């Protein structure tokens, strides 16, 4: 990765999303949803009256109370969001992007 590639990636990523914080919501053990922070809070608010629906093979369907403890959330900074997008765009590791930023500073 050279400076020109980095700068082009930065311009592309920054033009797509404003730099703001994000809310990361763990859905499954290997998958997470990432939303702008305000949207994430709104999403969580919609779960106030949520219930769980279980439709397992060879078992009766059931609707039970939703255990909100099963959802885990964390906050991602706008800077981390941009760094991850740049790493994906350039097909390099996140550590490489961070190291490049330190050298460029």
* H/E element, 28: strand 22-28
Percent pLDDT > 90 in the chain is 61
The torsion region of residue 58 among left (phi > 0), alpha (psi -120 to 50) and beta comes to: left
Q: Torsion angle of alpha carbons 73, 77, 79, 80, nearest 10°? A: -30
85 vs 103, more confident: 85
For residue 101, what pLDDT is reported?
Answer: 84
Does the structure show a pLDDT above 80 at 105? Answer: no
pTM of the model: 0.69
Task: List pLDDT tens digits, range 11-53.
Answer: 887 777 567 899 999 987 789 999 999 999 999 999 989 999 9
């Amino acid at each position: 990765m050279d400076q020109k590639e980095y700068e082009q990636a930065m311009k592309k990523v920054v033009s797509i999303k404003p730099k703001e914080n994000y809310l990361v919501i763990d859905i499954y053990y290997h998958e997470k949803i990432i939303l702008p922070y305000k949207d994430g809070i709104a999403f969580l608010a919609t779960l106030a009256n949520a219930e769980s629906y279980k439709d397992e093979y060879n078992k009766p369907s059931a609707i039970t109370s939703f255990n909100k403890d099963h959802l885990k959330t964390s906050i991602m900074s706008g800077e981390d969001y941009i760094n991850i997008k740049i790493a994906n765009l350039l097909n390099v590791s996140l550590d490489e992007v961070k190291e490049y930023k330190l050298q460029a500073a």
